[in-house]
Every structure is written in structure tokens, then in C-alpha cells.
Structure 1
Amino acid sequence: MISRTKTENILILTLNCINISLYLLVIAAVTVKCLHANFSQIMVGIYGGVVSAALVVNEIKPLEISLVYFRFVSIYSGRGMIFIFFGCIVLDVSVLNIIAGTLCLVFGCIYIILSFVPNFPPPNAMIINWQNWKGFSKEGMDLMRHNDSSGAESKSTALLISHPPRINEATRKETYIV
């Protein structure tokens, strides 16, 4: 029997792959939309393509700048809003744009719904989820997520279920130009 933790990890890895696929689909749809567009639509397309490419990189390995300044990317409602935004940008009359826009809008709504599901693991980068998967799969190990008598997760499970690192605001160094 597969534990709940391993099942959640498989689901999160699948969501990582879907996110990367959707971001790449957005880049392709924006490129198609820019072929027969005016200047303002081309600028919005360039913006959408650059942001989507940055989100592909962030989906694979989180950058510190995204965890500090773009923290909404590390929660489901933030990702949902991003996908709804991309869906609105790429929706157009060509078949690729209709497919990409519809998929982005649907997954945006799914992510917003997931933000209201209690006890659902937070979204992590693919590298973190892959390390967790390798830890679970090593020698057939299948960790059960259960609470001990104090209500806290066991230490071995808590080490494998990692969340995006949080930046401590008190220790972060700021550079101000006076």
C-alpha cells in the first residue's frame, strides 16, 4: 500500500510537470499571437514570454529573489492567479491560443480551489519534490505520515517533506541608496 505522503509527492511532481508544460505552452501561444499583432500586443507578448520563462526556471529550482519579492508564486492561490492572467493574455482566435488560454484558465481555477483544501502540501520546486521522491523510493522505503503523541510530525517525515525556505526579515540585509 502506498502511503499518503508518497501519493501526495507523486501528485505534486505531476503538478510540477503540468506547470512547466503550461508555461512552455504559454510561450508558444504568445509567439503565435505576436506574429500578426500590433505593437502593444507584441509588448504584452514579450512580457508574457519573459515572465513565463522565468517561472519555468523557478518551477525547477526556486530562486531567492522569488521567495523574497514574489512569495505569491509559492502558494496555490498565487499560482492560480498567474495562470488566469496568462489565460487572459494568450486567449485569441488561433487554435493554439484557444487551447493554451483555456488550459491556463482551467488550471488557474483548479489552483485557486486547491488553496482552500486543508492539509494539502504547499507547492515546492521540482528539485525539492524530486529529492523527496528519491528518498521515498530508496530501497522500497515508504514513510507513513502520522502524528506522534505531541501532535507534531515525526522528525524523519518532517525532514523529507520540505517547504520553500522562508527568509527571515530580521536577518535579511537591505541595501539603501541615500
Structure 2
Amino acid sequence: MTMSSTRSLFAAAVLAASALCTGPVLALEPATGKVVLTVSGKVAAKNTAQAADFDMAMLEAMPQKTFTTLTPWDRQPIKFSGPLLRDVLAAAKASGTTLKAVAVNDYSTTIPLSDTQQFDMVLATRMNGQPIPPRTKGPLFIVYPYDSQPTLQAPIYKDRSAWQLRSLLVE
């Protein structure tokens, strides 16, 4: 077999293989448990046709950040744990300028993507070491480290937080 016929055979095999790939190219492992978060919009790593879906096991497998802070809604400081929001977005290969966070009750807020780099915001899966029940603020809660900087005491950061989070739209 000559070099040019080998190249032609290889090119034909590549074309045939690409013709068989009619579905979306998936970059994340599929969620195997109940989906607790859908990240859609400007995301390059997806595990469904349109979005990056995460189950709790996927979120808990990421590096975890823990901090204790007083929130605008509580009288005592609370210890929050979960992946950094920027790590979740990196897993989905998100690119954009804003996030639209939507809660189970359809509350929505817009968060500048730059906040996720500037602040160690967590996508909290635990409060005081326990999973967050849906009847309170769970199972997911975007939390800023309010006590870490005076800037985060401004009401705008309270408004950008979202509990009972179900989806993020990257715009």
C-alpha cells in the first residue's frame, strides 16, 4: 500500500466516523442522580444537548470551600460549604458577562460573572455541616462571604444571592 493510498484510506475512515457522530459532543460526564442544577447559555462543556446538568454527587466531588459568615437573613453566623461558584462555571466552560440565577420559586437575580472571580462565592450544599433541606434554603444556595470585606455588606450582594437555586443562565 502506498503512502497516498494510506492517507486516502485514513481520510475516508475519519469522514465515515464523523458522519456517524450526529449527536452533541458531550464534555461532562452525565449526571447519574437527580439533577439539582442546570447551567445553560454560553457553556462549552455540556452533558445534555443544551446544558450542563449537575447532580449533588458531581458538586460534592469538586474541591469544597468552607467559610462562616453572618448573612442578612440570620441572627447568628452560619458555616457554609460547597464548591466555589467559579469552579462550577469552569466545569461547564462558561463564558459570558452575566449569570441569571433562578430559584425553585422562580425568584431570579443577575450576577456579574466578574463577581465569581473577585469573591470566593460558594454554591453551598451544606449549612453548619448538614445538607441544606429544600424547605429552608436548599439544596443549593449562592452565598457571598459577607463578613470577609466591607464591600460585601452592601444590599446589592444580598440581592445577588439565591437560595433554592435550580438553574444558571450564562449570558
Q: TM-score, normalised by structure 1?
A: 0.22
- The structure richer in strand per residue is 2
Instruction: Give the greater-gyration-radius structure (CA).
Output: 2
Bigger fraction of residues in helix: 1
